[in-house]
């Protein structure tokens, strides 16, 4: 292999690792919950949407990179994380930390300059909550890590709303709460499937502490809160019948998926289905909000 080909190959590997550090698949859903509220709140320009999307990606990507720095001592113990850049030895831990901080700094500047200070402040708050409250404190200390730490993932709707309106209101709060209460049943479905990994790493996820069946029952309780919560914005006129029907159907399907998991003796496949559908559920719910606002008379 020529030296030029080796350099090109190394550059390509580095680029893939940098992208991997940001966790683009996770961010894609965060961007849906950021951008959709912008079209619920008003009629944003393309330039504003692009600024928020880029700033949101950089901020979330920075948080994910710093999270990988924090988790570097346990990532090599879990099958699903041992190929990440740090545990695999492809990147230095300090370089990953610097990359994450640089992304968050760039995101803050971009949002403050091209969007508004409130959206920048909310994005930074989400970054710090994820890095320090969830990653550094809750993740390794309590099975409630996902419940409280899930607030970090609920900041994107607030960022999108503030980008258009320059303020927050009751509808924005409901969007925050919807993501907050969606997070436990969504993530615990994955935790059920990956509990061996978490046990090897010493992370006290709910199935390891409470047991599998209690975790499933807790998922049902959160759905019992989430479904009515998604319908409440209709009662004060935030959304109309298109959203109401969509939220009801989506909520019942997600509830059914969890009930099926609880009732199954071999629950692995139902849990996988529940986890995958929960991703689609949140995306479609936010799309339904936009459709309702744009199409409903």
Q: Note the helical H segments in 140-211.
A: 145-149, 155-165, 170-193, 195-201, 206-209
Whole-angstrom Cα distance, residue 157 to residue 39? 11
Whole-angstrom Cα distance, residue 33 to residue 283? 7
Q: Are residues 177 and 162 in the same domain?
A: no
**Stretch (H or E) spanning 242:** helix 241-263
Q: Are residues 23 and 37 in the same domain?
A: yes
Q: Are residues 68 and 109 in the same domain?
A: yes
Region label for 264, one of left (φ > 0), alpha (ψ between -120 and 50) or beta (otherwise): beta
157 lies in some domain: yes
Q: Which residues of 217-249 are buried (b: 16+ CB within 10 A; e: fewer)?
A: ebbeebbeebbebbeebbeeebbeebbbebbee
- Of 166, 186, 208, at which residue does a domain stop? 166
2 lies in some domain: no
CATH number, domain containing residue 271 = 1.20.120
Q: Are residues 174 and 140 in the same domain?
A: no
Q: Is 293 helix (H, G, I), strand (E, B) or coil?
A: helix
- Of 117, 146, 166, at which residue does a domain stop? 166
Output the DSSP codes for 27-82: HHHHHHHHHHHHHHH----HHHHHHHHHHHHHHHHHHHHHHHHHTHHHHTTSTTTT
Q: Are residues 144 and 183 in the same domain?
A: no
DSSP 282: H
Q: Are residues 212 and 108 in the same domain?
A: no
pLDDT of residue 82: 84
Overall domain count for the chain = 2
Q: Are residues 297 and 247 in the same domain?
A: yes
Q: How many CB atoms lie within 10 A of CB 25?
A: 8
219 lies in some domain: yes
pLDDT of residue 42: 94
Q: Are residues 141 and 22 in the same domain?
A: yes
CATH number, domain containing residue 112 = 1.10.357.140
pLDDT of residue 249: 98
13 lies in some domain: no
Q: Are residues 51 and 136 in the same domain?
A: yes
Residues in the chain predicted with pLDDT less than 70, given as ranges, are 1-11, 296-297
Query: Is the alpha carbon torsion for 294, 113, 29, 171 positive or negative?
Result: negative
36 lies in some domain: yes
Q: Are residues 247 and 109 in the same domain?
A: no
pLDDT of residue 10: 58
pLDDT of residue 75: 85
10 lies in some domain: no
Give the list of residues 6+ apart from residue 286 with CB closer than 8 angstroms, or none: 32, 33, 36, 37, 157
Q: Are residues 279 and 221 in the same domain?
A: yes
87 lies in some domain: yes
- Of 143, 166, 189, at which residue does a domain stop? 166
Whole-angstrom Cα distance, residue 275 to residue 289? 22
216 lies in some domain: yes
For the entire predicted model, the pTM comes to: 0.92
Structural domain including 213 reads 169-297
Nearest to 254 by CA among 154, 178, 195: 178
pLDDT of residue 76: 86
Q: Are residues 110 and 212 in the same domain?
A: no
Nearest to 293 by CA among 240, 219, 227, 253: 240
């Amino acid at each position: 292999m020529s030296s030029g080909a080796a350099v090109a190959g190394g550059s390509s590997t580095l680029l893939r690792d940098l992208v991997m550090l940001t966790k683009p698949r996770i961010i894609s859903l965060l961007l849906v919950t950021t951008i959709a509220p912008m079209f619920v709140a008003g009629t944003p320009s393309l330039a504003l949407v692009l600024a928020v999307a880029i700033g949101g990606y950089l901020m979330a990507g920075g948080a994910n990179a710093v999270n990988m720095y924090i988790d570097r001592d346990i990532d090599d113990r879990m099958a699903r994380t041992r190929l990440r850049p740090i545990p695999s030895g492809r990147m230095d831990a300090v370089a990953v930390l610097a990359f994450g901080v640089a992304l968050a700094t760039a995101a803050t500047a971009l949002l403050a300059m091209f969007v508004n200070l409130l959206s920048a402040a909310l994005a930074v708050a989400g970054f710090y909550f994820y890095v320090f409250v969830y990653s550094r404190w809750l993740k390794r200390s309590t099975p409630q890590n996902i419940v409280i730490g899930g607030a970090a993932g609920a900041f994107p709707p607030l960022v999108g709303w503030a980008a258009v309106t320059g303020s927050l209101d009751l509808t924005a709060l409901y969007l925050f709460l919807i993501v907050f209460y969606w997070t436990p049943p969504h993530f615990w479905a994955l935790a059920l499937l990956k509990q061996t990994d978490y046990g090897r790493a010493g992370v006290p996820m709910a199935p390891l502490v409470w047991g599998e069946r209690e975790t499933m029952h807790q998922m049902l309780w959160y759905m019992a809160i989430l479904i009515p919560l998604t319908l409440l914005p209709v009662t004060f006129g935030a959304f109309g019948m298109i959203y109401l029907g969509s939220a009801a159907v989506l909520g019942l399907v997600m509830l059914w998926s969890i009930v099926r998991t609880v009732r199954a003796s071999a629950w692995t496949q139902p849990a996988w289905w529940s986890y995958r559908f929960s991703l689609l559920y949140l995306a479609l719910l936010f799309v339904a909000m936009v459709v309702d606002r744009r199409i409903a008379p």
